[in-house]
Amino acid sequence: MVKKITIIGIGNGALTAAADLTLRGFDVTLYANKRYEKRLKPIMDSQKITLTGVGVNGEARLHKITTDLNDALSDVDLIMPVIPAYGFERFVDEIYEYLKPGHKIVLTPGSTGGALIISKMLHEKNALEGITIAEMHTLPYACRITSPTSANILLECQKLYFAAFPAKNNEEMYKLVKQCYPAVELVQDVLETALNNGNPVSHPAPVVLNAGKIEYSKGEHYHYREGITPSVARVVEKIDKERQNICEKFGYKVIDAKDRLAMMGYAPKRETLYECYRDSQAFSPLKGPDNLSNRYLTEDTPCSLVALANLAKVVGIKTTVMNSVINLASALMDEDYMESGVDVDDLGFTDMNLHEIKQFLQTGYCTTINACSISCIPLKFAAEQNQN
């Protein structure tokens, strides 16, 4: 049984999850690094977060709020990082010395490849053995912080694609996490969760195509309601089609963005993606971005869209529209996102073909000392190398 949960983070999703899980009967410890102590102080003083909106409402009195990582991880059933993808490296650098065999990490969300990225970094630090990692494809909520000690839920996600890395741990982790989030649905592996992250489809292209308006409006911009017009939505649909082609090549169930948004509860089912966004009660009130440095562009392009484009290369899929958006985003921000973004090496897929990647997703790394002579390679192929 899951009872004690440590949430790592200080953003919209982290505070919302801490309050929601507390109100649903879990003992929640909220941890944030000391550099966020000023933002955390109001919660530390009150020991509670007020939750409004969809779902359970009320004042959630947290079990513990701390900036001491050793304290946060000393007695816990699940470790739940609710952090942006660009924070994965810093997260690993901070946590790896405190991890112990038996710890279970659930990335909420994994974004695009989070479980793979974090597993690779922990493996390289010899800190992965005995640690179980899983991820959801998205946040469990559409939510916003409304004050330093309160949050509002606009929508509770009705479907959360879920998997562990390696996938041999799927059932174990699924049974645990389903106690916290009944909406989780088990898929083949964490690459399937990664390929169903909707952010690289719905965020970078509309920001690029609305760059002038975003800069000119100085905060008066609504990404979904104003930024995704019929023509912009056609670009988004083409990106989603390229994503679907990657899914098909890897042997995953192909889910159109329109269907996934409807199943998750984010939008009603409509004939076009534009109509889905237009008629969404969850998306319509979301204001922003107010500048081009927003995560919709600076996180979802290098950390997600670039990852998809690089995965496509492995299986011979052309991503003409994705690449165009990446190039324009790079020009807007004066940074080469294709160079700095997530590549197959970051995911642990160095020099692997499709078959090797699929095997690796199931079996993971050799974490036993001297188990294989080559690191970062699936067990099956490590054995073949040793025999040779």
Q: Is the pLDDT of residue 146 over 60?
A: yes
Position 366 confidence tier, pLDDT thresholds 50, 70, 90 = confident
Q: What 3 state SS string does 22-55 have?
A: HHCCCEEEEECCHHHHHHHHHHHHHCEEEEEECC
H or E stretch at 152: strand 150-156
pLDDT, residue 367, reads 54
Residues 165-194 as b or e (16 or more Cβ within 10 Å = b): bbbebbeebbebbbebbebbbbbbbbbbbb
Percentage with pLDDT > 70 across the chain: 94
- For residue range 199-213, list pLDDT tens digits in order: 999 999 999 999 999
pLDDT, residue 68, reads 96
Percentage with pLDDT > 90 across the chain: 91
- For residue range 266-317, list pLDDT tens digits in order: 999 999 999 999 999 999 888 999 999 999 999 999 999 999 999 999 999 9
* Ramachandran bin of 241, using left for φ above 0, alpha for ψ from -120 to 50, beta for the remaining angles: alpha
Q: Give, as one character, the DSSP assignment of residue 380.
A: H
Report in angstroms the alpha-carbon separations of 165 from 26, 70, 105, 159, 184.
25, 24, 10, 20, 16
Question: Which two structure tokens, joined as six digits, stand for 239?
Answer: 């990106």
pLDDT, residue 195, reads 97
Write the CATH number of the domain with boundaries 199-340.
1.10.1040.10
Hey, which residues does 262 pair with through a beta bridge? none
What CATH number matches the domain at 4-195, 3.40.50.10540, 3.40.50.720, 3.60.9.10, 3.30.70.270?
A: 3.40.50.720
Residue type, 387: Q
Cα 296 to Cα 85: distance, rounded to the nearest angstrom: 12
Contact 337/301 with Cβ under 8 angstroms?
Answer: yes
Contact 135/192 with Cβ under 8 angstroms?
Answer: no
Cα 176 to Cα 160: distance, rounded to the nearest angstrom: 14
Burial of 70 (0-12, 13-18, 19+ CB in 10 A): exposed
pLDDT, residue 384, reads 41
Number of DSSP helices (H) and strands (E) in the chain, helices first: 19, 12
Question: Which two structure tokens, joined as six digits, stand for 101?
Answer: 């065999």
Torsion of CA 102, 103, 106, 110, to 10 degrees: -100
Q: Give, as one character, the DSSP assignment of residue 253.
A: P
Cα 196 to Cα 255: distance, rounded to the nearest angstrom: 8
pLDDT, residue 388, reads 38
Report in angstroms the alpha-carbon separations of 117 from 92, 133, 156, 227, 234.
10, 11, 27, 31, 31
- For residue range 34-77, list pLDDT tens digits in order: 999 999 999 999 999 999 999 999 999 999 999 999 999 999 99
Q: Do domains 4-195 and 199-340 have the same CATH topology?
A: no
Q: Is the pLDDT of residue 385 over 70?
A: no
Q: Give, as one character, the DSSP assignment of residue 79.
A: E
Residue type, 230: P
Check the CA dihedral 237-242-243-247 and report its sign.
positive
Contact 361/189 with Cβ under 8 angstroms?
Answer: yes
- For residue range 69-113, list pLDDT tens digits in order: 999 999 999 999 999 999 999 999 999 999 999 999 999 999 999
Give the three-class secondary structure for 80.
strand
pLDDT, residue 248, reads 97
Domain positions in the chain:
4-195, 199-340
Q: Are strands 160-165 and 132-136 parallel, antiparallel or unpaired?
A: antiparallel
Q: What is the chain's length?
A: 388
Q: Is the pLDDT of residue 376 over 90?
A: no
